[in-house]
Amino acid sequence: MESIFYLVLTNLEKIGLGIAVFLCAYLSNMGLGAWKSVKIDGNSFDWSLILSSLVKFAVLIFSLGLLSMTISVLPAYITYVGIEVDPGMMEAVDSLVIVATFLTATLRYVADAVAKVKDLF
């Protein structure tokens, strides 16, 4: 049981770093979107859209974090209940899930931000 708690704490650190990378992509995409909306589309700046976007970000990060933790803890839980799982497999699943979850989301927002930069120039 102690190894599951250690795994959770280690995963929280990894998830935190994933969130930091994702946050950079998300905020740049949001800022460029606001700039494009005002400069190119001629819309007025609306703080409620920014607030709405930040709420969506918080829910997304919370959900991605829970998903990563759940999938990462599954192999340890399976071992805890008595089914042997290779420790190397546990580490691979753990790292792959966290990286894939945040990498997928981050790449989507990076691609959106690059497209907005192209529109702005």
Q: Is the dihedral of CA 21, 23, 26, 28 positive or negative?
A: negative
Concatenating the DSSP letter of every residue in 20-81 gives HHHHHHHHHHHHHHHHHHHHTS-PPP-HHHHHHHHHHHHHHHHHHHHHHHHHHHHHHHHHHT
pLDDT tens by residue, the chain, 121 residues: 667 778 778 878 888 888 889 889 989 988 888 888 888 888 888 888 888 988 988 998 888 878 877 877 787 788 888 888 787 777 787 778 778 878 888 899 899 999 988 888 8
Q: How far apart are CA 67 and CA 13, in angstroms?
A: 15
Q: How far apart are CA 94 and CA 14, in angstroms?
A: 10
Question: Which helix (H) or strand (E) is 120 found in, with range?
Answer: helix 87-120
